[in-house]
Each structure stands twice: as C-alpha cells, then as structure tokens.
C-alpha cells in the first residue's frame, strides 16, 4: 500500500511516519501547499519526492484537487495521511479515497476543533489534554474517531504540554496507520 502525506508546515509527523518501519506500507510522496514549508527540507533529507500545489494558483478547490488527484493516480496512491495540512479536504479527494484519508488533531475531539486547539484546551484549564486520529469527511475535524491518547495537565506549562502532545502524536499516528492498513494484498483478499 502506498501512502501520500499532505502537510503544510513543520512536518514532524510526516517525518515520524515516513521513517517508521512498516511491513507493507510506504510513504512514497509528500504533497505540500506552501513553497517555504520546513516539511520540504525533511522530505529532501528523507529522499521522498515532494510536490507543491499552491491553492491560489487555481480557480477553485475542485481544480486544485483535480490536479493533485492526477499526481496521486500517477503514484498509485492507496492512502492519504494528513499531517498538519492546513486546508479543508474537498469532495474531489474525498470521493476518490473513501475511508482512506486520515487526519491527526491535537485535541480530544469533539472538543476544540479547528485552529489553536492546544492553546484553547490549555486556556480552558481542562484536566486532560490529548490527541485524536480520525477519518476525514466533509466536516472539519468531524470524521469518525479511530484512536485517542491523553494525559493529565496537572501543573505543566503550555510549552511542556505542546511537547508532550507532539511526542504522543509521533508514537500514535504510525501505530494507527500500521494497525489499519499494514497488511499484504493477499491478507486483504483472504479477509474479505
């Protein structure tokens, strides 16, 4: 199974997934929507081809995603993994990859959807803070939840919380991808 990771920024989750030793899965391409994102440096270092699609160069989301989809077909992509991808996924990609698009969000969904989730949870003085991996659908951060992990905030600073969140993300995301998809084609056929 071949994975495309979509990312917009730092790319620490991209790196965690791309360097994970799966049995039958491989990250074969990075899709990025920002030409100066640090994740592009990571992909170079990891020798994974990266393609930048700038949304404002397109008339609308459909045109933008249609162009991306063409590339995904060329790379024979089976699974899309969003890792800090700051755009909403539209119908073109959702229809082409039903139940094959995952996202990670730094909160215990359904709480604190959208941007600045860690800050918001921290400022709400929640007792527990965590992360969620979910399927992507047309609702922002609203798809079916696959896995969550959390910890007690106690007297942690915001910086400590952020660092712990990212640490958990780098452990949980590859593991969930492995549990969901890391099977050979033969096993898939046999389990039908």
Residue ranges in contact with ligand GRF by CB under 6 A? 7, 9-14, 83-84, 104-106, 169
What is the 3-class SS of 5-44, one letter each residue? EEECCCCHHHHHHHCCCCCCCEEEEEEECCCCCHHHHHHH
- Nearer to ligand GRF (CB atom), residue 9 or residue 143: 9
CB of 80 to ligand GRF, least distance (A): 14
- Nearer to ligand GRF (CB atom), residue 70 or residue 178: 178
Among residues 110, 131, 107, 109, the alpha carbon closest in space to that of 120 is found at 107
Number of Cβ within 10 Å of residue 149's Cβ equals: 16
Contact 94, 130 (CB under 8 A): no
Q: Hey, what are 41's tokens?
A: 């440096």
Active site residue 105: yes
CB of 140 to ligand GRF, least distance (A): 11
User: Residue number with the shortest CB distance to ligand GRF?
Assistant: 84
Candidate list 105, 134, 166, 170, residue with the active-site label: 105
CB of 9 to ligand GRF, least distance (A): 4
- Nearer to ligand GRF (CB atom), residue 12 or residue 181: 12
185: Cβ–Cβ under 8 A, 6 or more apart, which residues? 24
- Nearer to ligand GRF (CB atom), residue 113 or residue 183: 113
d(CA 82, CA 64): 16
CB of 12 to ligand GRF, least distance (A): 3
What positions carry a catalytic annotation?
Answer: 105
């Amino acid at each position: 199974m071949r994975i495309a990771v979509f990312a917009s920024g730092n790319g620490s989750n991209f790196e965690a997934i791309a360097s994970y030793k799966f049995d039958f899965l491989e990250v074969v391409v990075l899709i990025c929507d920002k030409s100066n994102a640090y994740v592009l440096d990571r992909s170079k270092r990891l020798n994974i081809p990266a393609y930048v699609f700038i949304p404002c160069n397109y008339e609308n989301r459909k045109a933008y995603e249609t162009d991306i989809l063409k590339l995904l077909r060329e790379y024979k992509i089976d699974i899309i993994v969003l890792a800090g991808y700051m755009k909403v996924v539209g119908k073109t990609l959702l229809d082409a990859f039903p139940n094959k698009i995952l996202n990670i969000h730094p909160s215990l969904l359904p709480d604190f959807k959208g941007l600045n989730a860690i800050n918001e949870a921290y400022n709400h003085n929640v007792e527990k803070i965590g992360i969620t991996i979910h399927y992507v659908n047309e609702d922002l951060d609203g798809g079916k939840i696959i896995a969550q992990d959390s910890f007690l905030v106690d007297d942690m600073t915001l910086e400590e919380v952020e660092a712990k969140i990212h640490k958990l993300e780098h452990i949980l995301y590859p593991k969930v991808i492995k549990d969901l998809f890391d099977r050979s084609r033969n096993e898939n056929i046999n389990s039908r």
